[in-house]
Every structure is written in C-alpha cells, then in structure tokens.
Chains A and B, each alone.
Chain A
Amino acid sequence: MKKLKYERPIINKIQSGMPDKFGMSTRVQTISDVEGIPVVNIIKNYGSPTFVLSEQTIRDTYQEAREAFTTRYPKVQFAWSYKTNYLNAVCKIFHSEGSWAEVVSGFEYDKAIDNGVKGAHIIFNGPDKSDEYLAKSIENDSFIHIDHFDEFYSLIRIAAKSSKKAKVAIRVNMDTGIYPQWDRFGFNYENGDAWNVLNKIMLSKDLELVGLHTHIGTYILTPNAYGVAASKLAELAVRVYRKFNYVISYIDMGGGFASKNTLKGAYLPGKDTCPTFDDYAESITNALINSEIQPENLPTLILETGRALIDDAGYLVGTVLANKRLVSSRRATIIDIGVNLLFTSFWYEHEVYPVKEVSEQTEDTTIYGPLCMNIDVIREVIKFPLLQKGDPVIIPRVGAYNMTQWMQFITLRPNIILIDTSKNIHVIREEETNEVFSRQEKLPEHLS
C-alpha cells in the first residue's frame, strides 16, 4: 500500500479581531527554479547556500530603465554603481549594455579599468580619493566628482603638475523635501557652498568644470524629490551660464531608486509601493526640460542607479538546518543563510520561499541564520509553511549590495553562479576555502 504524503502535525490558535494585513493571501507560494534551472539541482551541483544571478533579468531591467529615460530625454547615460555589485561578470554585463562605471575608491577604479572601461567613461565619486588616484584620473580623463574643499585644494595642487586639465564636477547636497537629508557628502546648495566652489573651479586654469552631481539618498520612494533635485542642479547650471557664458555638459542624478524589496516596518510590500522607472524618469526629465536651460544647451543626463537595476536578478538558495519551538511557543526555523551573506536583512524584510510544494498550512515563524550570534535573524516573523530539516529554501531580490557588503564571519563565502541568457550556468566567483583565507595570514616565527 502506498503511503500518504506526510506533513508535520500543527495546531494554530484562531485570533479573532486580528485580520491579516489587507486580507493578503497567506497561501504558500513556492519558487522551484531560477530561469528554468531547478533550485535542487543548483544546490546539488554548487552547494548550499549559493548565490544565483540571472543575466536575462539584469539585461531586461537595464533596458527597461534606459527606455524610461531615453523616450523622454535626448541624452542619457547610465554609469554602473560598482559598490552595488562589483563582480566582474556583473559589471561587464552592464558595460556591454552601454553603461559607464561609477566608482568610489582606488580599488573600484582599478577594477573598472581591468574590466575594460575607458578612463573617460569612469566617474569617480566619494570622499576618499588619494593623490595617486586623483593624478591617475586626470591622466585618464576620468570625471572627478569633488566631495569637499580639501579635495578641491588637493586637486588644484595635483592638476598644476599635469599637462592635462582635470575634468571635474561637484557633488551637491540639498533639501529635496525628504527625510533624512543627506548632508555629509558634497557641497550644500542652500547655504551657498556649492555656488562658492563652482566659482572657484571656473576661475582655476587647471580644472575644467564638466558636470553637476547629486545623490539624494537611497531607496527613495518619492519620485518628486528627484524633480526638486534636478531643478536645483539646473538652476546652478543656469547661473554658471549667465555669469561665465559657459555650458555644463552633464547633470548626474546619482542613484537611489527603490527596489521591490520591503523595508522593515513598512506596512505594505515593496512590490506595491515601489515607483516605476517611468515615474522617476518623468519627474527628472520634466524638471530639466522645464528649467531655464536653453534647449541646445541641455546637459547629458547621467544616472548611477544601483539597487533598482540588480536587486531582482539575484537569489540566494539554501537549506533548512533545524526547527525549534521558542519559549514563547513561536516556531523558529534555522537556515544556512545568515546575515553574514544577507547583509540587507538588516533593513529589508526579505521574502523567503519554499522550493517544493508544501501544505497550505503556515505558522508564524522566526527565521534564523546559522551563526552562533544573537543578531543572526533573517526574518523576525513570517508566515511560513512546514518545512523539515534538509528542505531547500530560496530568497529572491538579493542582487544589490549583498555580494559586496557580505562578511567573512564564522563561515566561508559560497559560490556565486550566473545563469546566462542561453541558460548556461557559470561559476562567477568560487566559494572560499580555508586555504584562500589562510593565505592572507602570517604567523610570527615564535608561534609557528
């Protein structure tokens, strides 16, 4: 006699007067494959956990974003924000779509060069640019986005020694109506610092003012804030034109578009609240087109979009290690994916899905990572179905920041695979081994 399919026995208390948020379905969704490749095969062949990236999704998302802007504005250029995900394979996909590189350190700068990006297609941002790299950027015709006065004076000194002019923009911070206002990077618009440094640049014989830059924050849910920011940069461009009869070639609006992940504490899922690329594009391009910049002088619009271009393309697949019942009677499930790999779980309520069909029954569950550390919580509470030890799980939308901000902590970092547009699988970063890790260490003689 064939045995019946088993599931754990469970009992749930019915809470009266506590409806689910907006009657959202608690039906258990499963994700069994990525781009047609079964998750169980991925785990079998590449281990658990494994990061998975979809090249198709990266390209589709990029093309959708580009179209939102190019259909509204004549000159648009994307620059891939390296810190969001600087795996070479990922950068090369963006470069092959036409993206430049946006870097914030010498390490990232060299990575862009190694990835074949022309110096003149590198935007160098951030508060930390060494003299060596400022000199290199001048030689390579890269765009240097000045962050503070100390950097301005370093640049004057270094550029004076070069036969070339330094191509510079300034980073501007400003009030766009959103909270918190980022004021630690760049020069403030409202207090006149930005206008002040622009004048200094215009008077310098070694610097060539090419652009204006801002990055108003990250995960910005209000497209209108971009409109405000673009208007203020346009206003600066107009003032420069009036005073110096000089045309600024580009306005760079930075990154910050939201992804479909849900922020902690948000009432509705990110899928429902995330503006579209069209929303952001409409706001930014309207502000530029409606500004007092003359049509023939309209600057190139640069975008350094990070998370919104890559989050959806990344998945983490892993395995249930154990189930527990907490003293509070809450179920706890321990998986082999911890905050060491899923850094973004500090600010997102990541979705976690079973891979195989399971019963419709769910229970409020806390999902812990495998680290022997109290902070290792992937989800405080999620309606989760009955999974057993060894069952696979998948976490979608992990493409942004995790593969750069991850920590080598307690355990080693796993394989990252890319599924290309023909569904071939490539390991694009090998799992770390003890040997890789030990190579960096040196034992003093008396301890060896």
Chain B
Amino acid sequence: MKIRNNIAISDSGFVFDSNNGESFTLNKIGLEILQMLKNSRTEEEITQKIVKKYDVDIETFEQNYFDFVGMLRHFNLFENESF
C-alpha cells in the first residue's frame, strides 16, 4: 500500500493530486496518518504511534483506520494495487 508519488501533502492538511487536479482536506490525525503512509510506515507502526499519542483504544482506532484507508482508496490516492 503506497501513496502515489504525484500526491502532494501540505503541512496544513491540504492534499493535491497533480494527476487530475483534485484536492482534499484532512483533519489533523488524517494528515499524520497520510504522512506516515507516504513514508511507508506499516499499519502496525501507525496504530502504535496513534494509540500512544491520542486518547483512543486500539479497537476503535483500527476500525477508524480501516475506514480512512477505504476513503484514500476511494479517492484513488494509492498506487495501483493488485487484489
């Protein structure tokens, strides 16, 4: 699972897809996760980091993470994956 190279992420939570000119906004946690994904962190690493930093249990976060990644996929931000 790798974020495409032509996805630009600004520090303020603004994402630009130079392929098609579409742009997105993220909340703070969304931005952190996207940046970690961009740096090729695994789901496990990301979960550990978030759960340590924020007041959330692993189960809730995993559900939310799954949903978030689903949206990134829906918006076509990952490199082509083979299922």
Contacts and interface: CB of A to CB of B under 8 A. Distances in A.
Whether A and B are associated in the same complex: the answer reads yes
A70 interface: no
B22 interface: yes
A6 B67 contact: no
Contacts of B32: 9
A13 B53 CA distance: 27
A326 to B, nearest CB: 11
Contact of B30 (A5, A10, A13, A323): A10
A9 B33 contact: yes
B64 A8 contact: yes
Interface in B30-76: 30, 32-34, 52-56, 60-61, 64-65, 67-68, 70-72, 74-75
Nearest to B32: A9
Contact of A323 (B27, B55, B67): B67
A7 B28 CA distance: 9
A9 B25 contact: no
Contacts of B61: 6
B83 interface: no
A12 B24 contact: yes
A325 B70 contact: yes
Main secondary structure of the interface of A (DSSP, over half): loop
B22 to A, nearest CB: 6
B78 to A, nearest CB: 12
B45 to A, nearest CB: 15
A9 B65 contact: yes
Chain B interface helix/strand/loop/mixed: helix
A442 B61 CA distance: 50
Contact of A11 (B25, B56, B65): B25
B55 A3 contact: yes
B29 A6 contact: yes
Contacts of B74: 329
B3 to A, nearest CB: 12
Given A3-B55, A5-B55, A325-B67, A11 B30 contact: yes
B26 interface: yes
Interface in A5-26: 5-14
Contacts of A8: 29, 64, 67-68
B1 interface: no
A199 interface: no
Given A325-B70, A325-B71, A6 B22 contact: no
30 contacts: A3-B52, A3-B53, A4-B53, A5-B55, A6-B54, A6-B55, A6-B61, A7-B27, A7-B29, A9-B30, A9-B32, A9-B68, A10-B26, A10-B68, A10-B71, A11-B15, A11-B24, A11-B25, A11-B26, A11-B30, A11-B34, A12-B24, A12-B25, A13-B22, A13-B75, A14-B22, A14-B25, A329-B71, A329-B74, A361-B27
Interface of A: 3-14, 323, 325, 329, 359, 361, 388
Nearest 8 pairs between A and B by C-beta? A9-B30, A6-B56, A6-B54, A3-B55, A9-B68, A9-B29, A8-B64, A329-B74
Given A3-B54, A9-B29, 13 more contacts: A3-B55, A5-B55, A6-B29, A6-B56, A8-B64, A9-B64, A9-B65, A10-B68, A12-B26, A13-B75, A14-B25, A325-B67, A329-B71
